[in-house]
Structure 1
Amino acid sequence: MSYALFRPLLFNMDPERAHDMTLALLDKAHKARALGFVYGQQALPVDSMGLRFSNPVGLAAGLDKNGDYIDALAELGFGFIEIGTVTPKPQAGNDKPRLFRIKQAEAIINRMGFNNKGVDHLIQNVKRCKYKGNIGINIGKNAVTPVENAADDYVYCLERVYPHASYITVNISSPNTANLRDLQSGEALTALLDTIKERHSQLATEYGFYVPLVLKVAPDLDESQIDYISQQLIDFEIDGLITTNTTLSRVGVEDLPDGEQMGGLSGRPVSHLSTLVLQQFAERLDHKVALVGVGGIDSGAKAVKKIEVGADLVQLYSGLIYQGPGLVQSCIQAIGGYYDTLSE
């Protein structure tokens, strides 16, 4: 109810300013010890990628790019938090305006461009936070790095975040960094995974513990691409797959104000497409790789649908903007009810 009253004020503001203000207010509420009382943790343990999650509902990367608000966000009841995307060097991202609400469709278009304060800043925030749950760190490449040298940036970030992450996500699916999605296909993907996995294995030996490695892909994949990526995941023993990032499709928003903006579309219109891609990967991977379903989850029923088609875990982002923090609890409860039906 409180968010329903507050939302019209936020929605009358510039979207990026509203985003920043919301996180700042959330942090103040956390420091005033007001959040845990309202939301709190719901226990629904799930084991995946060799990790135990307190519940299967996580925060998707992008909302807290720099890890500035980990403790505050955790108090909303998430079973895990993914921060980033982070790059080796700080970068401003694309020119503003770069974030657009499409209210009629409960959608968002963004072309942020991996704006972040750099990997070293993020690591300091992770080291300072008090949250004891799983923290995923999502890594990318700097915009000025040629795509043929992308592996250098991913390895740089991998080396620095390895001792601080519960799992590490390699983001090759943002549509807002030039040519990044080229890394999802053919020899480019094979070469990238080969380089990253080799260094990942070395780091596991050096540190004496294993940090799961995850890939994040786009929903704009055809079946041949899904076939190829699936085989690469198995061949390189990648631990998890996040499906999906934002879409370049404009189905569902093409005739709405700001529906023509450049960038990635998220929210309700991407729900069916992202779930279909998740299902296609699940059929091919046959439980050999953990699956994280994200995209268009704005209700408990949508979260359950991801679990039904093969997701082990789910993540929220755009649905939080429209439904508010109570969506976390709704999804946990709905998934718990679904688990109960399986055990009857």
Structure 2
Amino acid sequence: MSKFRETAALFLGAIPVFLGYETLKGDEKFYSNILMPVVHSCFSPETAHNLAIKLLSLGLVPKGKTQQFDKLSCKVFGQTFPNPLGIAAGFDKHAEAIDGLNKLGFGFVEVGSITPLPQAGNAKPRVFRLPEDKVVINRYGFNSCGHDVAAARLDKHMKGRIVLGINLGKNKESFDFTKDYTDGVTKLGKYADYIVINVSSPNTPGLRSLQGRQKLQDLCTNVVAVKEGLPNKPSILVKIAPDLTEDDKQDIAHALLQSKVDGLIVSNTTVARPSTLVNSHKSERGGLSGKPLCEVSTKLVADMYKLTDGKLPIIGVGGVWDGKDAYDKIKAGASLVQIYTSLIYEGPPLVGKIKRELNQLLEKDGFINVAEAVGADHK
């Protein structure tokens, strides 16, 4: 990108910093109907993403009106979360924007996926917007800065300012997948409140095969053993795909319970293509995220909650666009919820909107807090 376009992009991206979004609903519409479409019309998806990370890393953040929601504080994995809404892995891939994301009002931030060695990922273009469908398709392929660069950045992060998850991946050319993940725990575990073993990206050949019962159980057992050697003992979570058979779900539940991991994330992107898609990019190869994934991932949250007897806290992710989507996942069995694609389309005010609506729904149904509503559909 030319220097002129980069400067123009930074100026455009900085406009929200000066505007803020104090008026809530009015500014939600300004972002979703005007600002975000303008940004999307000017820049490719990956360029826009990189600019957003740059602005966040510089602290150029449109800080919203400070609101206290008395029902949203929750305790999960032994950590206190100011609210249950987090940013999913894949947004801040290289641990560059943690503090900026914190200022947007998230209850926790997950970075990565981070691989042991730096790798470029797949060839560009590798990410596509489908605005009519509220969808993004990506085939990034674990582009990563590597453990060493990530560790140097995390050294500068103010630990304790926000609950931090670190999502780990394997290198594309690696033959020892267990070592890739255990090395990640050894190298980066001290910075994390929780570690995610990502075996569900559709863009790394052979990765999803690690969700098989014995492979997954052996991998998780090894990772848990390494985690026990760390002073802070971060929680260990596994991120699973939405494209699973009933037997797959049972095998995963068995493996997770036997290996004594601390929780799971449901779910990653899907390789399925809903028949409702209309955008011309609908046949692009890669993982699909966004609104059509909402119902699928919520059902999978419910299935895994039942298969694990509610013993493993779940982070629900996939197609969350408003407070009701988040609430549905919580009632299905999720203790926490993450967003990503909706933030691309709706902009930073979405964070406050979801929290506000979720708090209202909890109050309407008579729940004292989030924890009371977890798994309510099963009770």
Q: TM-score, normalised by structure 1?
A: 0.93
Aligned residues: 334
Aligned to 2:371: none
- Residue in structure 2 matching 1:329, options 314, 327, 352: 352
Aligned to 1:10: 39
Q: Deviation digits for residues 78-110 of structure 1, max 9, x if unmatched? A: 000000000001100000000000111010000
- Residue in structure 1 matching 2:123, options 92, 95, 99: 95
Quote the RMSD (CA, aligned, Å): 1.6
Deviation, structure 1 residue 302? 0.7
CA distance 1:266–1:39, shift in 2 (3 Å): farther
The whole-number CA distance in structure 2 between the counterparts of 1:119 and 1:335 is 36
322-331 or 40-49, which moves further after superposition?
Answer: 40-49
The whole-number CA distance in structure 2 between the counterparts of 1:238 and 1:247 is 24
Where does 1:1-344 land on structure 2 (aligned, <5 Å)? 1=27, 2-4=30-32, 5-12=34-41, 13-28=43-58, 30-31=59-60, 35-36=62-63, 38-40=64-66, 42-43=68-69, 44-130=72-158, 132-146=161-175, 149-201=176-228, 203-204=229-230, 207=231, 209-252=232-275, 254-340=277-363, 341-343=365-367
SS in 1 for 2:285: coil
SS in 1 for 2:334: coil
SS in 1 for 2:292: helix
Question: In the alignment, is the contact (CA less than 8 A) between 2:81 and 2:163 conserved in 1?
Answer: yes
Q: Which amino acid aligns with 2:39?
A: L
Question: In the alignment, is the contact (CA less than 8 A) between 1:41 and 1:76 conserved in 2?
Answer: no
Question: In the alignment, is the contact (CA less than 8 A) between 2:88 and 2:110 conserved in 1?
Answer: yes
188-197 or 166-175, which moves further after superposition?
Answer: 188-197
Question: In the alignment, is the contact (CA less than 8 A) between 1:213 and 1:238 conserved in 2?
Answer: yes
Q: Deviation digits for residues 61-85 of structure 1, max 9, x if unmatched? A: 0000111011111110000000000
The whole-number CA distance in structure 2 between the counterparts of 1:264 and 1:154 is 22
Q: Where does the alignment leave 5 or more consecutive residues of structure 1 unmatched?
A: none
CA distance 1:195–1:102, shift in 2 (3 Å): same
Q: Deviation digits for residues 204-236 of structure 1, max 9, x if unmatched? A: 4xx2x3211000000001111111111221111
Q: Which amino acid aligns with 2:116?
A: P
CA distance 1:261–1:134, shift in 2 (3 Å): same
SS in 1 for 2:366: helix
The whole-number CA distance in structure 2 between the counterparts of 1:74 and 1:342 is 29
The whole-number CA distance in structure 2 between the counterparts of 1:184 and 1:334 is 35
CA distance 1:42–1:240, shift in 2 (3 Å): farther
Aligned to 2:6: none
SS in 2 for 1:88: coil
Q: Which amino acid aligns with 1:249?
A: A
Q: Structure 1 runs of 4+ off > 6 angstroms?
A: none
Deviation, structure 1 residue 255? 4.6
Deviation, structure 1 residue 197? 2.1
Question: In the alignment, is the contact (CA less than 8 A) between 2:217 and 2:258 conserved in 1?
Answer: no
CA distance 1:96–1:183, shift in 2 (3 Å): same
Question: In the alignment, is the contact (CA less than 8 A) between 2:213 and 2:254 conserved in 1?
Answer: no
The whole-number CA distance in structure 2 between the counterparts of 1:140 and 1:324 is 27
The whole-number CA distance in structure 1 between the counterparts of 2:169 and 2:295 is 26
Q: Deviation digits for residues 270-320 of structure 1, max 9, x if unmatched? A: 111111111100112222100100000011111111111111000010010
Deviation, structure 1 residue 41? 6.3
Aligned to 2:9: none
Q: Which amino acid aligns with 1:155?
A: T
Q: TM-score, normalised by structure 2?
A: 0.84
Deviation, structure 1 residue 23? 2.2
The whole-number CA distance in structure 1 between the counterparts of 2:66 and 2:275 is 35
**Identical amino acids, percent of aligned pairs:** 36
Deviation, structure 1 residue 130? 3.1
